[in-house]
Amino acid sequence: MPETLLKQRLAEELPPIGAALARATERLPEPVRPVARHILEAGGKRLRPFLTVLMARLLGDAGERIYDLAVTMEMLHAATLLHDDVLDDAASRRGKAAAHTSFGVTQAILAGDALLSGANAQVADFGDPRLCRCFSTATSETAAGEILEIAAQRRVDVSAEEYAAIVRGKTAALIAAACELGALAANAAPDAVRAAADYGENLGMAFQIVDDALDFAPAEETGKPTGGDVREGKLTPPLRFYRLNLAENERAAFDAAFVCGLMSAADAAEISLRVREGGFDRRAREEAQDYLEAARKALMRLPDGPERPVLMEMTDYVRDRRH
């Protein structure tokens, strides 16, 4: 990330966000703290709590308690990662051993439950039913998105509309909620709360589409194995474009291997190369542009202030992500 308003503001906000996460972890029951620390200290962009803080500041909240509210989004996100890694039997997360490989499957699942419950209690401490409703809705929509994704796994007939519903649930709902929480904490008018949520949802849709395009980038650029979605049977936009571009006999062979889960690491690497050469990853990024433009329009419905240029730069960051 170049030296921008976004990078400067992130550097300012990460320490208090980190301190709030540490406080939240200490409030959890002692037996689950090691697992919670393992997932929370593994890194991450802290995008969700950062957005909560920015949106609250833009709309007039100057208090320090916003950090304790903001990190509930990161706790919820961390809980989903713990559960996802068990479901996917993932060996690592952000360059570290996945929690379930270090602590056991049962402990990882229960720690995820504890993180979710702890976050819910922390939101309730603010005494505002609107915050509780926002948090619980985001939780249920995230779970629904994950269920839709599981149902779509290893299917070659997943439509663009189905994919959008998956992304709206598993990624965009949480980012929308992060922005909405900030607006609600600032007691913003209903129209501003709606605009904040719209900004977050569209940013989240674009974020996931770009993430799916990055899955086909060389591992040396992203630090992650190339073509993970191919092996896991996820027909994301780049892979859908690639499949539709195949000759009939090639498509039949692809479908057979994809549906049966027979894609090897070598197959995934070869397909990833062909996705890049065919420009199908760039085509997916172009789809993300429509959502980013919608996010910018939603942002312009909010009052001007020091945070608005930072939030605007966030759309450029999502557009240009390379890892």
Instruction: Provide the residue-wise pLDDT of the chain in tens; the chain has 323 residues.
Output: 445 899 999 999 999 999 999 999 999 999 999 898 989 887 778 999 999 999 999 999 999 999 999 999 999 999 998 887 787 677 666 667 778 887 788 898 998 999 999 999 999 999 999 999 999 999 999 999 999 999 999 999 999 999 999 999 999 999 999 999 999 999 999 999 999 999 999 999 999 999 999 999 988 887 777 899 999 999 999 999 999 999 999 999 999 999 999 999 999 999 999 999 999 999 999 999 999 999 999 999 999 999 999 999 999 999 998 87
Burial 244-268 (b: 16+ CB within 10 A, else e): eeeeeeeeeebbeebeeeebeeebb
Strand partners, 92: 97
pLDDT at 2: 46
- Is the CB of residue 217 less than 8 Å from the CB of residue 226? yes
Alpha-carbon 283 to chain mean position: 21
Strand duo 96-97 + 92-93: pairing: antiparallel
Q: Which residue has the tokens 């039997």?
A: 89
pLDDT at 322: 82
- Is the CB of residue 41 less than 8 Å from the CB of residue 21? no
Q: Please state the pTM of the whole predicted model.
A: 0.93
**Half-sphere exposure of residue 84: CA atoms within 13 angstroms, side-chain side:** 18
Q: What letter does residue 30 receive in the DSSP assignment?
A: G
pLDDT at 92: 65
pLDDT at 193: 98
pLDDT at 94: 66
* CA nearest to 172, candidates 144, 192, 191: 144
pLDDT at 278: 97
pLDDT at 86: 80
Which residues, including other chains, have CB under 8 Å from residue 109's CB and lie 6 or more apart? Answer: 82, 83, 86, 100
Distances (CA, A) of 245 to 136, 242, 248, 301: 41, 5, 9, 40
Q: Which residue has the tokens 């000759």?
A: 247
